[in-house]
Structure formats: structure tokens, C-alpha cells
Amino acid sequence: MNFKTIQNLSIDFNQKGYKTINAKQYDKETRYVVVHCTDNGTFVPLDDTVYANARTMTADGRALLDPATIQDDGTILLELDDTLLAAPGRAATQIDIYQSGTEKRLTTMSFFINIEPSVYGDNAIIASDEFNALTELIKKVTKDYEYVIEESKKHADNAKASEDNAAGFAANAASSATDAKLSADNANVSETNAANSANDATNFADAAADKADEASAHADMSRSYAVGTNNAVREGDAADNAKKYYEQAKDIAESFAGTLRPKGTITFTNLPSATDAKEGDMYNISNQFTTTASFKEGAGNVIPAGANVYRTDDGFWDVLAGSPVTGVKGNAENSYRRGNVNITAEDIGLGNVIQNITDLQNKMAALEAVWPHLLWDTSGWNPFTETAQASVINDKIGQNQEAGRNEN
């Protein structure tokens, strides 16, 4: 007889199926599940580059981790052992698949095992090494008992045969009586062994209870050092715990968030983009440059060599000293200009000065050319080379005016 039962189950890596299989409490080495892993409904055969463990939370709250077997057809064979089936109710299981030689792990969606309770329970010790030891002792006692029964039956048969053949088998009857006594003695020994085994079982149970108390104490101490228990487990654990130290480290780290971090001297072309830099990164720019739209000052500002720029918390570059000049304009201009500004005569309202000087020079040259032919005598005075007294000029003007009237 193939003394086992196998259930087939398809479990997906992404899609929840809430699938449930049934099992019976206390069954051992007889119940197996073949798991087909799927990815969004498509079967994923596993190979020898991976291994698997079954992670189970039992109905009575025990956490189990059992190895599973990767089969040649790419499926997983999982045994529902007596430890998993010790407590009736609903157990939740997932399959963890690990890639050999790496830290990669892929986990299936959970499935459930409905463990039907036995008609009466094995309540002495459940799911522990002590239970397995007690089971072995019970097996030994049972074997001794079966041996006694078998021997008694054998000798009873011999006694019946001796009775039927009393005359011929008197000697055999005596021998059988001796064997029967020996068997009785063996039975007494077996009874003593059974009592000792029962005592051992009681001792194992007490030891298991002690270990459970120790485990609870260790769990309380672990919680004290991890998150604290407000001094309930350990004096001062409200402040002396990993969670508190993490919060302190986090506060210190966050206090450095606005600190400038010098990153060295570079040319403007080697300045990284603001999106690639971190808040507080600061660079010294070795050459003159013109700002772009990624600067807080806006595009088009000419910044001298040696300026420092840093990455702001809102994702821009900013010139640490600010722009050297906010704007320049001439008196005749309506708006300010920034950068390398060239101020011309037109910008300050002197656009016609040069033209006016040129016109005046032309007129003076023409006057100088006709000066000798004027009607009035200058007595050798040349206004283009020397300055005359005002009285002389007035006398000359008056004489010429008189000469003009006489002609008329």
C-alpha cells in the first residue's frame, strides 16, 4: 500500500487565491503537498539554482520554518509533518524561494491548511523535542508489550499442545512453564521500564515548561533593548534602547540638512546639473560664466571668476555672494540692463553732440575762407588766430555801417 496522500496546489507570486487544503491532526509522514509556482497564472518551473523553505504560522501561534524539496519537474514537494499538524485549526503558509549564492528571495502568496481535530487529543506534550522523545519511549514500551504478548501466545499454544499430548510432551510442558516464568519476569521488567519512561516524560514536560519561561524572559529582554518597556523589564530601558538611539541619530542627521559641503574648484562647464547635485553641495567656479535658467538669479547674469555656487533646497543653483551689479542704464534709457553693459553717447542723451560739433567746424571753415573778402577792414586782425579788444571790434563795425549808408 502506498501509505501516503498527495494534494496538488497552484500558488501565484502575485495573485491572491486564498486557497485552502485539508489535513488531519496528528498525522505523520503521510501527508504531502505538491506546489506549482505561477507568475500571473503562468507556471514557473524551478531548477537546482534555487532552494525553498515553507514558512508557517500554526493555529496556536507557533512559527515554523521547514525545508521543501525542489523536484525534477520544477514543482515543490512539501511534507505536512506532525509538528505542523499538532494543533487543530487554520494554519497560514507561504513558500520562500532563495537563489543560491545570492541574497535574492521570492515569496508566493499565502495559502491555508485547515487542520481537522482528532476525535481525541494527544495533549501531554505538543510540537516539541520532548514530545518526540516521549514518542520514542512509548514505541519502545509498545514493542516490549507486543513481545510479551507474542511470547505468552506462543507459550499458551505450546501449553495447549502439551495438554493434548500430555503423555508425550511432559518434558516440554515443564520447559514451557520455565519459559512462561521467564516471560513473566520480562513482563515485570517491561512494566518497570514503562514506569521509568512515564517519569522521564514528566521530567521532560517540566523541562519544557522551564524552557518556555526562559524563552519568555529572553523575549521580554529583547523587547527592552529593542524598543524599551518604560522601565518595566529593565531599569532605564525607556531611554536605553535601539529605537531611542535611532531617533537620536536621525535628529542629528537631519540637523545637518542645511549645511554647505565644499566639493572643490571646477570650470562652469563641469558644474553638474542641479537635479544631480544634493542640497548644500557647493562648488568654486574658476572662470567667468553666465547664469542659466537653473540659477535662482535667473538666466543671463555674468558672474566673475572665483564665485561660489551652491545647490538650494528647492533644486536651483545660487551664487553665494549674489550678482555683483543688479543693473545699469544711461539717462536716456528706460530700463536697466545686466551683464557686460556698453554705455554709448546715445544711452546718456549725447547722441547729437558729435554731429553738432561737426556742423560748427564746417561753418567755421567756410567763414574763414570768405573772411578776406568782407567789406569792412579788420586792420590785419584775424579772428581765427587771435583775440581783439571789444572797442576795436565795435569801431570797425560802426565804420562799415557808415560806409554802407553813404553808398545808398
Distance CA 211, CA 129 (A): 12
Q: Which of 1-15, 127-141, 217-231 has the lowest mean pLDDT?
A: 127-141
Distance CA 300, CA 286 (A): 18
User: pLDDT band for position 89 (50/70/90)?
Assistant: very high
Looking at residue 337, what is its pLDDT? 74
Task: Share the mean pLDDT of the chain.
Answer: 82
Assigned C-alpha cell, 173: 510442558
In the predicted structure, residue 287 carries a pLDDT above the cut 80 = yes
Looking at residue 209, what is its pLDDT? 87
User: pLDDT band for position 407 (50/70/90)?
Assistant: low
- Summarize pLDDT for 357-367 with one digit per residue, the tens: 777 778 787 77
User: pLDDT band for position 260 (50/70/90)?
Assistant: confident
For 234, residues 6+ apart whose C-beta sits below 8 A from its C-beta are 221, 224, 225, 240
In the predicted structure, residue 162 carries a pLDDT above the cut 60 = yes
Average of per-residue pLDDT across 320-329:
63
Looking at residue 103, what is its pLDDT? 94
Strands 31-39, 42-43: pairing kind: antiparallel
Looking at residue 110, what is its pLDDT? 96
In the predicted structure, residue 76 carries a pLDDT above the cut 50 = yes
Q: Which residue has the cell 482528532?
A: 118
DSSP structural state of residue 89:
E
Looking at residue 342, what is its pLDDT? 84
Looking at residue 25, what is its pLDDT? 95
User: pLDDT band for position 378 (50/70/90)?
Assistant: low
- 6: helix, strand or coil: strand
Average of per-residue pLDDT across 39-45:
96
Distance CA 316, CA 13 (A): 43
Contact 239, 250 (CB under 8 A): no
CA angle (100 as vertex; 95, 101 as ends), nearest 5: 140
Sequence-distant contacts of 186-189: CB under 8 A, at least 24 apart: 186/144, 186/147, 186/148, 186/151, 187/148
CA angle (336 as vertex; 331, 342 as ends), nearest 5: 75
In the predicted structure, residue 308 carries a pLDDT above the cut 50 = yes
Phi, psi (deg, nearest 5) at residue 340: -80, 100
Average of per-residue pLDDT across 291-302:
93
Looking at residue 380, what is its pLDDT? 59
Distance CA 204, CA 130 (A): 6
Looking at mean pLDDT, say which of 12-21, 199-208, 342-351 comes out highest. Answer: 12-21
Looking at mean pLDDT, say which of 257-261, 303-307, 389-393 comes out highest. Answer: 303-307
Distance CA 147, CA 384 (A): 157
Looking at residue 19, what is its pLDDT? 94
Phi, psi (deg, nearest 5) at residue 82: -70, -20
- 377: helix, strand or coil: coil
Average of per-residue pLDDT across 166-171:
67
Looking at residue 187, what is its pLDDT? 79
Average of per-residue pLDDT across 298-316:
93
In the predicted structure, residue 177 carries a pLDDT above the cut 80 = no
Q: Which of 206-220, 339-353, 378-392 has the lowest mean pLDDT?
A: 378-392
pTM score, whole prediction:
0.34
In the predicted structure, residue 375 carries a pLDDT above the cut 50 = no
User: pLDDT band for position 406 (50/70/90)?
Assistant: low
> What percent of the chain lies above the pLDDT cut of 90?
43
Of the two residues 255 and 215, the one the predictor is more confident about is 215
Of the two residues 406 and 210, the one the predictor is more confident about is 210
User: Could you tell me which of 296, 294, 301 has the C-alpha nearest to residue 274?
Assistant: 294
